[in-house]
Structures are given as C-alpha cells and as structure tokens.
C-alpha cells in the first residue's frame, strides 16, 4: 500500500494534518513539519477508553525520535471511567491544560474512542483552546479519532465508534469543512467504514483515507 497525500493547500503552508495511523505517515509529515525542539501537547485521552492503544506509544516514540519535546496531557474529567494509557500522562486542572496548549508549538490528538474524546475535550475547556490555537496558526495533528473530531460534526462516526458515554451534542471542532473516514478499507474497520460511507455519503462531504494516507491543509 503506497503512501498517498491529499494536499488541500500548499504543503509548506499546511498547519492541519489528519491521518488514520500516524506511524505509517510520520516520515512524510516530518519532511514538512520540523519537529526538532518543538513543544508538543500530546493528548491521548481518546485511547483511555480502549483496550488496544499501542499506537499511542508508537507515536510518542516517533515524535521523540524526531526531536520533539512532548508533554502528555490527560484532559479526562471522569478519571474513574478511564484506563490509564501511561504513567507519564500528567493530570492538570483546567488552567494548567490551557497554559500547556497556549505554550506548545504543536497539538497532537491521538486516536481511540471519538465520543469519549469529544466529551472530555468539551468538559475540560480544551475544546475552545484548541480551536483558537489552530486558528492562530498552530499545527494540529489528528490521528483517527483526533482526525474525526476536527470535522464540523461527528455523528457520522457512530458506525465506527461506540457512543458509550451517550454524547448528545455531536458538534466537532470545526477545524475543517469536511469529514474524515479513517482506516477506510483496513481491518478491522472494513465493514464499519463501508457502512459510514453508505449511511452518510449523501449528507456529508466524506473523505475516506486508509492507514497510509493523510490530508494536509
């Protein structure tokens, strides 16, 4: 499977990178984003609801090898529901989280459960901080669920993710005006992504990408 890049504006001008699986596309993104010495606010909250979360440690290792300085943030407000991803995650009050977002160079939002992530971002006020930071030109990297929440609305992700936290407001970060369908055609998401395309293809501007593709804008 060859690496494919979808560039919606000049690649060197891009500050939003949306992917399915960062480990597959990191080397190409690194050609554009100079990670060396950059401060990365690494939000892995979505993975705290998942038993399978190897992709988090993969991304951390890759970014550190690129020379990035990571600050792993846990924005979860309901810790009793969360499965810790790493003992390196730091728990902050709102003001400290917002400060970390404002001081970083790059915001990285990892994959996991879209709706758990959505719920916790909104409750922690990181929601608006991310929107403001990206609007001001900070780099946003969204992997899987982190790419989905960048959309105007996330209801289209219901065939792909369980809404176990009963989110009723599906409003996304609205960083882009389209809807990423991550892991398209890739196991174990083949049926779920096909169902998403079938159910929401006529009502949403869906952009399916497989694990070796990313969108930059």
Instruction: Give dist(CA 33, CA 145) in Å, integer.
Output: 21
Q: How many CB atoms lie within 10 A of CB 208?
A: 18
Instruction: Residue 93: give its domain's CATH number.
Output: 3.40.50.880
Please check whether residue 188 lies inside any domain of the structure.
yes
Q: What pLDDT is attached to residue 94? A: 66
pTM of the model: 0.90
Please check whether residue 4 lies inside any domain of the structure.
no
Segment 142-156, tens digit of pLDDT: 999 999 999 999 999
Q: Percentage of the chain with pLDDT > 90?
A: 75
Answer whether residue 28 shows pLDDT above 90: yes
Number of domains in the chain: 1
Segment 155-185, tens digit of pLDDT: 999 999 999 999 999 999 999 999 999 999 9
> Looking at the annotation, which residues are catalytic?
144, 183
Please check whether residue 157 lies inside any domain of the structure.
yes
Please check whether residue 165 lies inside any domain of the structure.
yes
3-state DSSP assignment of residue 199: helix
Please check whether residue 59 lies inside any domain of the structure.
yes
Please check whether residue 2 lies inside any domain of the structure.
no
* Whether 151 contacts 181, CB under 8 Å: no
Segment 29-76, tens digit of pLDDT: 999 999 999 999 999 999 987 888 999 999 999 999 999 999 999 888
Q: For residue 180, what are the domain limits?
A: 14-216
Please check whether residue 3 lies inside any domain of the structure.
no
* Whether 131 contacts 173, CB under 8 Å: yes
Please check whether residue 161 lies inside any domain of the structure.
yes
């Amino acid at each position: 499977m060859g690496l494919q890049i979808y560039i919606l504006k000049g690649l060197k001008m891009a500050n939003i990178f949306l992917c399915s699986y960062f480990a597959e596309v990191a080397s190409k993104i690194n050609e554009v984003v100079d990670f060396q010495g950059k401060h990365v606010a690494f939000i892995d909250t979505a993975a705290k609801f998942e038993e399978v979360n190897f992709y988090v440690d993969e991304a951390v290792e890759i970014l550190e090898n690129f020379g990035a300085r990571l600050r792993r943030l846990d924005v979860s407000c309901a810790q009793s529901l969360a499965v810790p991803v790493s003992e390196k995650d730091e728990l902050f009050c709102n003001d400290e989280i917002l400060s970390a977002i404002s001081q970083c160079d790059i915001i990285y939002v990892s994959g996991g459960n879209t709706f758990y992530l959505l719920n916790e971002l909104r409750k922690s006020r990181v929601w608006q901080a991310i929107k403001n930071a990206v609007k001001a030109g900070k780099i946003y990297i969204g992997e899987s669920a982190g790419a989905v929440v960048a959309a105007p609305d996330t209801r289209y992700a219901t065939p792909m993710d369980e809404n176990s936290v009963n989110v009723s407001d599906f409003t996304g970060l609205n960083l882009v005006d389209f809807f990423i369908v991550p892991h398209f055609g890739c196991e174990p998401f083949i049926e779920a992504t096909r169902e998403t395309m079938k159910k929401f293809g006529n009502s949403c501007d869906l952009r399916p990408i497989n694990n070796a593709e990313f969108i930059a804008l």
